[in-house]
Structure 1
Amino acid sequence: MKKIAILGGSGFIGSHLSQYLNKMNIDFIILDKIQSIQFPKKWQFADVTRPLELHKTLSAVDVIINLAAEHQDNIEPKSLYYDVNVQGAKNICAVAEYLNIKYIIFTSSVAIYGFIEHETAEDGAYQPFNNYGKSKLAAEQVYDKWVAKNANRTLVIIRPTVVFGKNNRGNVYNLFKQIVFGKFFMIGTGNNKKSMAYIDNITAFLHYVTMLPINRYVFNYVDKPDFTMNELTQIIYYTLNKKRNNFHIPYIIGLFIGYCFDLLTKITGKKYPISYIRIKKFCACTQFKSNNIKQYNFKAPVSLKEGIIKTIHSEFIK
């Protein structure tokens, strides 16, 4: 049986993946700067920017799953994106080569495609617009060089769309929370579609790809169908048994509000949940698909709608 190392295993996806592997009786260790709450005995301190520590913790490991990343929109200094995401990839590859580890799974991001106009599969053009997307694309190139050096190596690159679920505190959670407390207003028409990924499904897929034969693989990960913002919010209102707020803020006004908050951030140094880029991303049509997953027999265990309902119940109703 393969022994799996989860880099960044104390984070949102890593914690759920650890629980999944534990239920499957699969041997794993958690490597992170922060101690794992669920599995403290399986945790070891590790920092992808410090290769000597990786040498110590990755010995006797068969598979590396790298979830460690700087991913928020407003990280300062910007160099952290490249220190962690790119240099971290170089350190992991160097240690894997030294220890003769031949199997790496890397969670990249659909952010490498940038703002898209049409539903995009794995062959989409790379046009990252921010440092997060640029650093993830650069990291992919590092891993590609590693796998190309040896025909017996396996590389799996997974590009998830926005991932949500219990204990996540990202944009989807913020949307739920705004509706719960009556602070949500739709910006734009609400007809733009959004691709999403439920945590239980992506953890199941991460386990699935540990069993693939030797090769290089690239997968977008998205749970279908894509909902429009109007459809998504309707599911949330219905689950919460709340009356829907049908007030819409015009898109151009929403962008202006975001710009004002950006100015306020520069003046005060305080970070706000509203920004120009977040408004733009909220109103954008971000649809992705995976042509490559269709070639395999993986089936997501939970429907997207069920995942939304389960998350709302676990976070706001129970």
Structure 2
Amino acid sequence: MKKILIIGKSSYIGTKFDEYIKESGGNYSIDFLSVRNNNWKIFDFSPYDVILHTAGLAHVRETEENKKHYYTINRDLVQSIASKSKSDGVRHFIFISSMSVYGIEEGTINRETIPKPKTNYGISKLQAEELLTKLETSTFRITILRPPMVYGRNCKGNYTRLSRLANYTLFFPKIDNRRSMIYIDNLSMWIKKVIDSGIYGIILPQNNDYINTSELVASIRKANNKYTCLVRVPKVLLKIFKIKTLNKLFGNLIYEYEKDNELFKKIKMIDLKQTIELSEEHK
């Protein structure tokens, strides 16, 4: 039996991974550990084969007042928990990082792309990665996943904001673009593959297909039994209106399909149409 400890008792990715494992079956035992207080310091990590660190500060507007919290939670706490995991004899530590470490709002990212984060969130995640790699040995292996935008039912972030907007918008701009995104259960499949196969290093997970924002909106509306009229609009007009969420989503931002996808090509990920239907279910 593979024993997994998830750091982050209320994290979206952690709770959804637990649900996915329970539904898919297999020889796994999963526990959760809250790190909102210091009780984790006396917790025994030694019975576990894998630590999955999903706790973190995200989806909060950055201010000068909360700046330090990003580094305390997303960097320092990660290093401390990883150090304890190592000293307690855990052999595999998985860290959920982010595409934000690249600091790129538009373009193509591959394994050679140098991270240059611009936000406290992205900087703190990258600094955590750097500290983790210093802890790695042949008996304490590190896996870092850098997912793009994660979406699914009851998720936080840009998908939820876009879904709300879509449901009130009959007319929507038709823009040709490509985005890397990943549905929450597809991300869970990647994590399971990492655990089952003992895959280490940096992983760039994504859906099987890139997403077009206009088609995404139409799919969201269709899942809610609503018709959409897509209207051709030059991208420059969107920039003039300065609607931050839309400008961000209408640009091209993708992970290049590379060797990660060869490693994971046997994963039967859920297709886009079904992921949108599942995300919009029971709203």
Same fold (TM over 0.5): yes
Paired residue secondary structure (1:157):
strand
Q: Kindly tell me the number of residue pairs found equivalent between the two proteins.
A: 275
Distance in 2 of aligned mates of 1:95 and 1:183: 53
Letter in 2 for 1:22: K
1:122 to 111, 131, 147: 111
Paired residue secondary structure (2:43):
helix
RMSD: 2.4
Distance in 1 of aligned mates of 2:4 and 2:143: 14
Q: Is 174-183 or 22-31 further displaced after alignment? A: 174-183
Counting only pairs closer than 5 Å after superposition, residues 56-71 of structure 1 correspond to structure 2 as 56-71=43-58
Offset of residue 178 of structure 1: 1.7
Does residue 145 of structure 2 align to residue 165 of structure 1? no
Pair 1:282–1:139, CA change in 2 (3 A): same
Counting only pairs closer than 5 Å after superposition, residues 82-101 of structure 1 correspond to structure 2 as 82-101=71-90
Does residue 188 of structure 2 align to residue 199 of structure 1? no
Which residue of 2 is the match for residue 220 of structure 1?
A: 204
Which residue of 2 is the match for residue 28 of structure 1?
A: 30
Which residue of 1 is the match for residue 262 of structure 2?
A: 295
Offset of residue 113 of structure 1: 1.2
Question: What are the superposed Cα offsets for residues 36-60 of structure 1, whole Å, 9 maximum, x if unpaired?
Answer: xxxxxxxxxx33x74x524415242
Pair 1:120–1:19, CA change in 2 (3 A): same
Offset of residue 290 of structure 1: 4.6
Which residue of 2 is the match for residue 262 of structure 1?
A: none
Q: Which ranges in structure 2 are unaligned for 5 or more consecutive residues?
A: none
Offset of residue 84 of structure 1: 0.5
Contact 1:7–1:64 under 8 Å retained in 2 = yes
Distance in 2 of aligned mates of 1:184 and 1:125: 39
Distance in 2 of aligned mates of 1:208 and 1:252: 40
Offset of residue 234 of structure 1: 2.3
1:304 to 259, 272, 283: 272
Which residue of 2 is the match for residue 102 of structure 1?
A: 91
Which residue of 2 is the match for residue 135 of structure 1?
A: 124
Pair 1:70–1:13, CA change in 2 (3 A): same
Letter in 2 for 1:285: N
Contact 1:120–1:287 under 8 Å retained in 2 = yes
Letter in 2 for 1:141: E
Offset of residue 135 of structure 1: 0.8
Question: What are the superposed Cα offsets for residues 146-180 of structure 1, whole Å, 9 maximum, x if unpaired?
Answer: 11xx2222211111011111121321122122222
2:161 to 165, 174, 195: 174
Question: What are the superposed Cα offsets for residues 14-57 of structure 1, whole Å, 9 maximum, x if unpaired?
Answer: 1111112234251110112xxxxxxxxxxxxx33x74x524415
Q: Once the two structures are aligned, what percentage of the paired residues are identical? A: 25
Distance in 1 of aligned mates of 2:221 and 2:127: 40
Which residue of 2 is the match for residue 253 of structure 1?
A: 240
Which residue of 2 is the match for residue 190 of structure 1?
A: 175
Offset of residue 246 of structure 1: 4.0
Which residue of 2 is the match for residue 233 of structure 1?
A: 217
Distance in 1 of aligned mates of 2:256 and 2:151: 17
Pair 1:162–1:108, CA change in 2 (3 A): same
Question: What are the superposed Cα offsets for residues 255-309 of structure 1, whole Å, 9 maximum, x if unpaired?
Answer: 2xx5xxxxxxxxxxxxxxxxx4x45423332111352323324414311222112
Contact 1:55–1:95 under 8 Å retained in 2 = no
Offset of residue 185 of structure 1: 5.2
Pair 1:184–1:85, CA change in 2 (3 A): farther
With normalisation by structure 2, the TM-score equals: 0.87
Paired residue secondary structure (1:82):
helix
Letter in 2 for 1:129: K
Letter in 2 for 1:229: T
Distance in 1 of aligned mates of 2:125 and 2:22: 29
Contact 1:112–1:127 under 8 Å retained in 2 = yes
Paired residue secondary structure (2:143):
strand
Contact 2:208–2:269 under 8 Å retained in 1 = no
Does residue 269 of structure 2 align to residue 282 of structure 1? no
With normalisation by structure 1, the TM-score equals: 0.78
Contact 1:221–1:289 under 8 Å retained in 2 = no
Letter in 2 for 1:235: S
Which residue of 2 is the match for residue 11 of structure 1?
A: 11
Distance in 2 of aligned mates of 1:292 and 1:55: 40
